[in-house]
Amino acid sequence: DQQVKQNSPSLSVQEGRISILNCDYTNSMFDYFLWYKKYPAEGPTFLISISSIKDKNEDGRFTVFLNKSAKHLSLHIVPSQPGDSAVYFCAANFGNEKLTFGTGTRLTIIP
Amino acid sequence: KAGVTQTPRYLIKTRGQQVTLSCSPISGHRSVSWYQQTPGQGLQFLFEYFSETQRNKGNFPGRFSGRQFSNSRSEMNVSTLELGDSALYLCASSPRQGNTGELFFGEGSRLTVL
């Protein structure tokens, strides 16, 4: 039962354009959402998070949007840079429960 | 500040064997979580330890076990290895109990079962 879904396994975007990564969830109890970025041979690193009381959080080139009614969140990267090429995981949890991760989206930025 | 350290980084085992993986969290972090990463499955939660006690457990068979020591270092053990156990095993630490915020991951231990 995949409670956090990333339906696009891969995405290619031209350098300088906007990258939009999507994530859907099924558990309405989730109240905290995070994005992690993973390079090959490295562990995931935290990128940005959002609480369910907000619908947007911004950090530099990265913005996360949360649509609770649609149980959908997205990560926008503007402008995309070659160093952004990585696998991106969205994750969610509530209370003291475990962090539930999606299956990841491999983002490739084309120079 | 040193990051999360996992050993060994790579190992090869055969079916039926057992394996022990080690994780040293960031100094001061008392929570250690373990995840299994396989292609197409994302990161699957194994268990979380806080103050030497297992606080949360994922949906893995009893062949997967772990423990945490008084210095917060953690080990996980997989007995009677199966081919499907081949994966990247990631350890993550956090200063707080429960994965309610940012986790700090190690580079992982890549296990290959032949």
Residue in B with minimal Cα distance to A48: B102
Selected for mutation to probe chain A from B49, B55, B105, B109 (highest A CB count within 10 Å) is B105
Q: Is A42 on the interface with B (CB under 8 A)?
A: yes
Burial B65-86 (b: 16+ CB within 10 A, else e): bbebeeebbbbbebeebeeebe
Which stretch of DSSP H or E encloses residue A93?
A: strand A86-93
Q: Is B62 on the interface with A (CB under 8 A)?
A: no
Count CB pairs under 8 A between chains A and B.
Answer: 62
Condensed to tens digits (0 to 9), the pLDDT of residues A14-27 reads 999 999 999 999 99
Per the listing, tokens 């509530």 go with: A94
List Cβ neighbours of A51 (8 Å cut-off, separation of 6 or more): A31, A32, A33
Arithmetic mean of pLDDT over chain A: 94
Distance from CA of A35 to the nearest CA of B (A): 10
Contact B108 A43 (CB under 8 A): yes
pLDDT in tens, chain B (114 residues): 679 999 999 999 999 999 999 999 999 999 999 999 988 778 999 999 999 999 889 999 999 999 999 999 999 999 999 999 999 999 999 887 665 568 899 999 999 999
Predicted local distance difference test score (pLDDT) of residue B42: 85
Q: Which residues on A lie below 8 Å from B35 (Cβ)?
A: 101
Q: Which residues on B lie below 8 Å from A100 (Cβ)?
A: 45
- φ, ψ of residue A103 to 5 degrees: the values are -85, -10
Q: Is A1 on the interface with B (CB under 8 A)?
A: no
